[in-house]
Structure 1
C-alpha cells in the first residue's frame, strides 16, 4: 500500500510517502493562506512523485469528527475547520482520504510501532510550544464524549495556569529572556543551566516540577501503565529519568507508589504525525 501523507501545521505542511511500513521522501512547504492553495500544493506533491497512490492520509490540528467528516474546533489554519473537508478532498483528488488530529496521530505511531507497542493503557503527552496529548485504553484511541479526550494541555494548577501556559521549555526560556533582557531559546537555556547559571537552573527545575505535577494528575485520574513523552524536549536524554523520579516521589507521598507508570520518550519525534496518519488510514478508524 502506497500513501501520500500530509501533516498540516500552522507554519509548514510536512509530507512524505508511506509504503511497506516505511516513511520516505519527507519534505515540507509553507502552509498556504487558503484552502484552494492547499489543494494545489497537495496536487503538486502528488504530481512530483512517480508513485501511484491508494489514498491520502492527513494529520491536522483540531477536533476531527469522523461521523460528520469535518474538523471542528479552531487552529492557526482556520480554513480547514467547519467545512465538509473529507468530501472536498476526495472529490478533488479522486482518492480515499483519512484525517485525524495531529497529537492523536503521533500517539497512534508510538502505540503501534514505537515505545508503546507492548503496553495496553497509554497516555501520550506532547510538550512543545504548548502541550497536547492522546489517551489509549486497551490500545484504542479514547477521544471522549466531546472529542476532547487527551487535551492535557488544559489541565490547571493551583495558580490557575494551564499545563500549556506554564509547563514548557519555551515558556521557561521566554521567562529567562524577560528577566535578563536577552533572547534565549530552550537549547540555550539548558546550556546556561549546565554552566551554573542560577536563574536557568531554577527555571528548568521548576519546569520539571510542573511537568511532574501534571503527570501526577494524569496518573491518578487515568492510571496508564505507560506515559510517552513527545515534542522537542523529548530529545533531552535526562527528561524521562527526571520525571520518573519526581512522579515517583509524589505517588509515594500519597501512599500509592504501586501505581507508578513507566515513563519513556517517544521513538519517532518529528515523523510521528506522518507515520500515525498513515497508520490511521491503514486501520480505517479501528484504533478509535
Structure 2
C-alpha cells in the first residue's frame, strides 16, 4: 500500500491506496504555514497513523512549484516556499524510515491522473490547463509526460497576455476565475461581502453587469490561451482541470468563445477541442501514485 500526499497552498490532501489506485480512505489537513519542521511533523504524524493500520511500502507526493523529481528538490516559485532548495526527497525518506519517496509537480500529477484514470486515458497527445488561483499545465506527448529542459514546460500561466499594467507584464494567470472575483470585490460599489469565482459566475448568470463583464473577460483570455496551445502543440485534446472542471457550463462557454473568435478567421481551420478533466479533487492523488508506480517510464527524456 502507498501513502499519497497532495500538498497545496492551503491544504494537504492524503490517502492510502493500492497499486490499482483504489483508495482505502482520503482526508486533508491545513497546510503548515511556518517552516519545514512543522511540515515534517504534520506529514510524519499522518504517516505514523497510516503505518499502524496499513502495510506501507512507499510514499508519493504531489507538490506545487518547479519540482525536479529525480533530484528530489523544488527549485521554483510555489505556494509553499519553505520547501524550496532543500534535499526534500532525502529528508522525507529519512522521516519515513527509509521507505522510497517520489515527488512530482502538482499540474503534472493532475495530468498523469487523468491519463491513468480520467479524460485522457484513450489519448496519446493531450495538453492540460489546470486552473486555480493561477494557471498551471502539463503536456502529454505520445503517451508520456514532457517536462521540458528546466521542468517548466506546461507553465502556461506565464504566457504574456494583455500587455503591461502599472509596469508589470500581464499573464494568463492574471485572468483566472479567482482573480476575476478579486477584481469584482475591488470594483463593486457599494462594497459587498467578498465573493469567490463560483459566486462570480452565479452573479453573471443572474444579470449582474460587472460580473458579466468579468466573466466575458475570463472566457476571452481562456479562449486566447487555448487557441495558442492548439497551434503550439496540435493536441488531440485540451483538458481543463482545477476548480472550474466541475462546472460544465463554464467549459462550454469557453468552447463557444473559441468558436466565435475563430469564425471567419484563417486560424479557424484548426479548432481546439476542449473538455473538462473528470477526476476532480482526486486527480493529483491519482497522478502522484501513478508517478510513484511508473516513474521515469512515463517521462520523455
1:149 aligns with 2:148: no
> 1:27 corresponds to which residue?
27
CA drift of 1:258 comes to 4.1
Following the alignment from structure 1 to structure 2, what is the Cα–Cα distance between the partners of residues 121 and 202? 34
1:135 aligns with 2:134: no
Structure 2 residues without counterparts, runs of 5 or longer: 165-169
Structure 1 residues without counterparts, runs of 5 or longer: none
Following the alignment from structure 1 to structure 2, what is the Cα–Cα distance between the partners of residues 66 and 37? 22
Q: 1:100 aligns with which of 97, 101, 104?
A: 104
Asked whether the 8 Å contact 1:157–1:163 carries over to 2, the reply is yes
Structure 2 counterpart SS, 1:285 = helix
> 1:13 corresponds to which residue?
12
Q: Number of aligned residue pairs: give it.
A: 286
Please, which moves more after superposition, 107-116 or 194-203? 194-203
Structure 1 counterpart SS, 2:163 = coil
> 1:225 corresponds to which residue?
236
Asked whether the 8 Å contact 2:117–2:286 carries over to 1, the reply is no
> 1:71 corresponds to which residue?
74
Provide TM-score, normalisation by structure 1. 0.94
> 1:169 corresponds to which residue?
177
1:193 aligns with 2:204: yes
Following the alignment from structure 1 to structure 2, what is the Cα–Cα distance between the partners of residues 69 and 38? 16
Asked whether the 8 Å contact 2:66–2:78 carries over to 1, the reply is no
Following the alignment from structure 1 to structure 2, what is the Cα–Cα distance between the partners of residues 45 and 236? 32
Q: 2:220 aligns with which of 209, 233, 240?
A: 209
> 1:53 corresponds to which residue?
56
> 2:116 corresponds to which residue?
112
Following the alignment from structure 2 to structure 1, what is the Cα–Cα distance between the partners of residues 74 and 182? 32
Asked whether the 8 Å contact 2:65–2:76 carries over to 1, the reply is yes
Structure 2 counterpart SS, 1:99 = strand
Please, which moves more after superposition, 145-154 or 76-85? 76-85
> 2:167 corresponds to which residue?
none
Asked whether the 8 Å contact 2:180–2:215 carries over to 1, the reply is yes
Please, which moves more after superposition, 251-260 or 56-65? 251-260
CA drift of 1:60 comes to 0.4
Structure 2 counterpart SS, 1:28 = strand
Asked whether the 8 Å contact 1:208–1:242 carries over to 2, the reply is yes
Provide TM-score, normalisation by structure 2. 0.90
